[in-house]
Amino acid sequence: MAERVLLRHLDVPDIHKLDVYLAHGGYAAARKALTTLTPEQVTEQVKASNLRGRGGAGFVAGMKWGFLPKDSPKPVYLCCNADESEPGTFKDRAIIEWNTHILLEGILITAYAIKCHTAYIYIRGEFAFGARRLHEAIAEAYKAGFLGKNIFGTGFDLDVYVHRGAGAYICGEETGLIESLEGKRAYPRIKPPFPATYGLFGCPTIVNNVETLACVPSIIANGPEWFKSIGPEGSPGPKIYCVSGHVEKPGLYELPMGMPLRTVIYDYAGGIRGGKKLKAVMPGGSSFPVLTPDEIDVHMDFDSMRKINAFLGTAGIIVMDEDTCMVRALEIIDRFYHHESCGQCSPCREGTGWLHKLLLRLEEGNGRPEDIDLMDRIAGNMMGNTVCVLADAAAMPTQSFLSKFRDEFVAHVTLGRCPLKKNGTGHRQAA
Amino acid sequence: MAVQFSQETYRQFEEVLTHYPTKRAALLPTFWLAQEEFGYLSPEVMEYIAQLLDLSPAYVAAVASFYTMFDKEPKGKFHLQVCTNLSCTLVGAQQIVECLEQKLGIKLGETTPDGKFSLSEVECLGSCGTAPVLQLNTGDYYENLTPERVTQLVEELAKQA
Ligand SMILES: Cc1cc2nc3c(=O)[nH]c(=O)nc-3n(C[C@H](O)[C@H](O)[C@H](O)COP(=O)(O)O)c2cc1C
Ligand code: SF4
Ligand code: FES
């Protein structure tokens, strides 16, 4: 790709400021959409582009918008999901802080397409700087007439509000987000009904991720065919890969969708730190199965990942070298899900708690031989039995760690300590 | 009632109410305003918020308890929150925690006797590419931490206190 789209601030400094954004073609796509296309045509173009949700699930954005009831008497809401809390993921934060207006332009075009006049940006509470950046950009956009009443003289009105969360991963789940926005505990809702028919304040609602919405202006500006030509046709577009852990150059890389995982790790992120050997990779945040070194030739797009029983997720690539203790790594992961379980469903609340407890025991050298199969069974019982998929998000990595690194779990039991460390256990030590 | 928003905060509160079709939806933004103004959400503050939004104090307390960033008791002037999720731990978050515990003479979850520093561990802060990371209060991130950097940070903050 010539110029970056989502991380354009790396090519155009200060693009978070309205005058710079405008000097580089900003809001031209929104103007084109609002003044020359009908809402239905905008939706058609986004559907034709095959833009798939970047929040983790990869649902076709244009198709989701198409689920809204036609001519609903109730208002339609748009929620921008800026809760970004998936471990290993830090892409939305970059867009929010440094390419702020592309997000607002994406929200404007999307709101027009779905006939919505009030949009909320639900941003995680920790992103105080991002919230400030959004407030500044929104104020600029109102002043310039890109938000508010009668935008571009078309009679279309849109208000955008920033709503800050306060430290709960489950607010990223779209119905948890809606509950939280309504001023409640973020208990995910039973689906159906889906938000498109019964969402925020009981009204038709679309929830889209920051990166998804930030892709929309480029589709309108360059056409769906352009978008589809970037990466694989079934899962195309520019994509931000987040690389962290044991690599030489951790950070964000905007590349076409569908890059081989090996290329991202070795050619862009500089390979494994200190010339060490690769041991394991979580390719899409911590909520999905772990991959071993012989699996990293997979292409990073929604469909290719599914073929090897993996998931693209958020493309939060967590890299672990040969010295990493897999028991300790899984203990951190399951601690997270236990801490973040909202507690509504017993398989999730109890299951994540048991898993974490058994892993701590294993790390402390007190694991029993039967614990490994017990954890696998607990994880198996958590899947597909709960209100939301957080339980699955804990179960999938657990089962994959247990099967792909079984010897290491067994060694912890038989040795009564971590085999990678000369003395003592892995608990409270680096992973 | 003893607690009350200042005029400026009350104005912001009224503005927030216009963002939503229901009063209840203004609850989280009101918590933020209150935490900013009063430092933490004491029972009296929650009662005040309940009145402002026509909610029961029990409801307000139940919602506040769900969200970890709302403090239900006073925290140190400088609340250091170290991420100990996976990407940060892979590159040394544990050494950062140990260094801070030693420097401050407290354990995770504690506050120094002079009320200046609190130390906590938190989950992924969305900054894994610049790990290890900590957040100071509800504001700035300190990234690419080393034991030397956090030692220096603590010394600088101690001077400000
Ligand atoms: C436990 C859990 C946490 C989630 N966290 C986030 C998040 O932080 N950000 C996000 O965009 N989507 C998150 N999602 C996915 C959302 O539910 C939803 O699918 C997404 O926001 C839809 O946007 P998209 O179609 O543009 O991807 C989460 C899902 C689950 C189950
Ligand atoms: S699966 Fe877990 S997080 Fe999701 S609703 Fe049930 S208890 Fe809550
Ligand atoms: S794991 Fe520490 S910021 Fe993400």
ipTM: 0.97
Task: Assess if residue B1 is contained within a domain.
Answer: no
Q: State mean pLDDT over B51-66.
A: 98
Given CB atoms, is A143 within the 8 Å cutoff of chain B? Answer: no
| Residue range A78-88, pLDDT digits in tens | 999 999 999 99
168-197 of A, contacting B, C-beta below 8 A:
168-169, 180-186
Nearest residue to A96 (alpha-carbon basis) of A80, A108, A112, A74: A80
Adjacent-strand bridge partners of A80: A121, A208
Tell which of B123, B135, B141, B143 to mutate to test the A interface (max A CBs under 10 Å): B123
| Residue range A19-37, pLDDT digits in tens | 999 999 999 999 999 999 9
Instruction: Indicate the pLDDT class of residue A426, thresholds 50, 70 and 90.
Output: very low
Nearest residue to B80 (alpha-carbon basis) of B156, B2, B4, B3: B156
B84 and B149 belong to one structural domain:
yes
Taking an 8 Å cut-off on Cβ atoms, the answer to whether A431 and B90 are in contact is yes
B49 and B93 belong to one structural domain:
no
| Residue range B89-137, pLDDT digits in tens | 999 999 999 999 999 999 999 999 999 999 999 999 999 999 999 999 9
B83 and B62 belong to one structural domain:
no
Adjacent-strand bridge partners of A162: A121
Q: What is the Cα–Cα distance from A51 to A47, expressed in whole angstroms?
A: 7
Residue of chain A minimizing CA distance to B70 = A166
- In angstroms, the separation between the Cα of residue A316 and the nearest Cα of chain B is 9
Q: How many domains does chain B have?
A: 2
Residue of chain A minimizing CA distance to B68 = A167
Residue of chain B minimizing CA distance to A185 = B63
pLDDT the model gives residue A423: 43
B114 and B60 belong to one structural domain:
no
Taking an 8 Å cut-off on Cβ atoms, the answer to whether A165 and B32 are in contact is no
Give the rounded percent of residues in chain B with a pLDDT score beyond 70: 99
Residue B128, C-beta contacts closer than 8 angstroms, at least 6 positions apart:
A87, A88, A89, A90, A242, A244, A245, A250, A316, A318, B85, B87, B88
Atom of ligand 1 nearest to the CA of A54: 27
What domains are there in chain A, each with its CATH number? 8-228 (3.40.50.11540), 238-321 (3.10.20.600), 326-415 (1.20.1440.230)
Task: Assess if residue B73 is contained within a domain.
Answer: no
Helix/strand/coil (H, E, C) string of A339-382? HHCCCCCHHHHHHHHHHHHHHHHHHCCCCCCCHHHHHHHHHHHH
Task: Assess if residue B72 is contained within a domain.
Answer: no
- Between A28-36 and A100-113, two packed helices, what is the crossing angle to 10 degrees? 10
Residues of A in contact with B68 (CB under 8 A): 166-168
B91 and B26 belong to one structural domain:
no
pLDDT the model gives residue B2: 80
Instruction: Indicate the pLDDT class of residue A349, thresholds 50, 70 and 90.
Output: very high
B92 and B48 belong to one structural domain:
no
**Inter-residue contact B53 to B26 (CB < 8 Å):** yes
Q: What is the number of CB-based contacts under 8 A between chain A and chain B? A: 148
pTM (2 d.p.): 0.97
Taking an 8 Å cut-off on Cβ atoms, the answer to whether B122 and A167 are in contact is yes
Residue A425 clears pLDDT 50, i.e. is over it: no
* Domain range enclosing B110: 78-160
Task: Give the residue from B37, B66, B95 where a domain finishes.
Answer: B66
Task: Assess if residue B2 is contained within a domain.
Answer: no
B59 and B85 belong to one structural domain:
no
B106 and B136 belong to one structural domain:
yes
B53 and B106 belong to one structural domain:
no
Task: Assess if residue B130 is contained within a domain.
Answer: yes
Report phi then psi at B24, rounded to 5.
Answer: -60, -35
Residue A300 clears pLDDT 70, i.e. is over it: yes
Residue A38 clears pLDDT 60, i.e. is over it: yes
Instruction: Indicate the pLDDT class of residue B1, thresholds 50, 70 and 90.
Output: low
A1, A372, B114, B116 from B111: Cα distances, Å: 50, 38, 8, 7
Q: What is the Cα–Cα distance from B118 to B135, expressed in whole angstroms?
A: 12
Q: What is the CATH number of the domain that holds B150?
A: 3.40.30.10
Instruction: State which H helix or E strand residue B49 sits in.
Output: helix B43-52
Residue A429 clears pLDDT 80, i.e. is over it: no
B60 and B26 belong to one structural domain:
yes
Task: Assess if residue B71 is contained within a domain.
Answer: no
Residues of B in contact with A248 (CB under 8 A): none
Q: State mean pLDDT over B79-88.
A: 98
A245, A278, A344 from A274: Cα distances, Å: 12, 11, 44
Task: Give the residue from B66, B91, B114 where a domain finishes.
Answer: B66
Task: Assess if residue B23 is contained within a domain.
Answer: yes
Task: Assess if residue B92 is contained within a domain.
Answer: yes
**Inter-residue contact A375 to A398 (CB < 8 Å):** yes
Residue B71 clears pLDDT 90, i.e. is over it: yes
B99 and B154 belong to one structural domain:
yes
B141 and B103 belong to one structural domain:
yes
Q: What is the CATH number of the domain that holds B31?
A: 1.10.10.1590
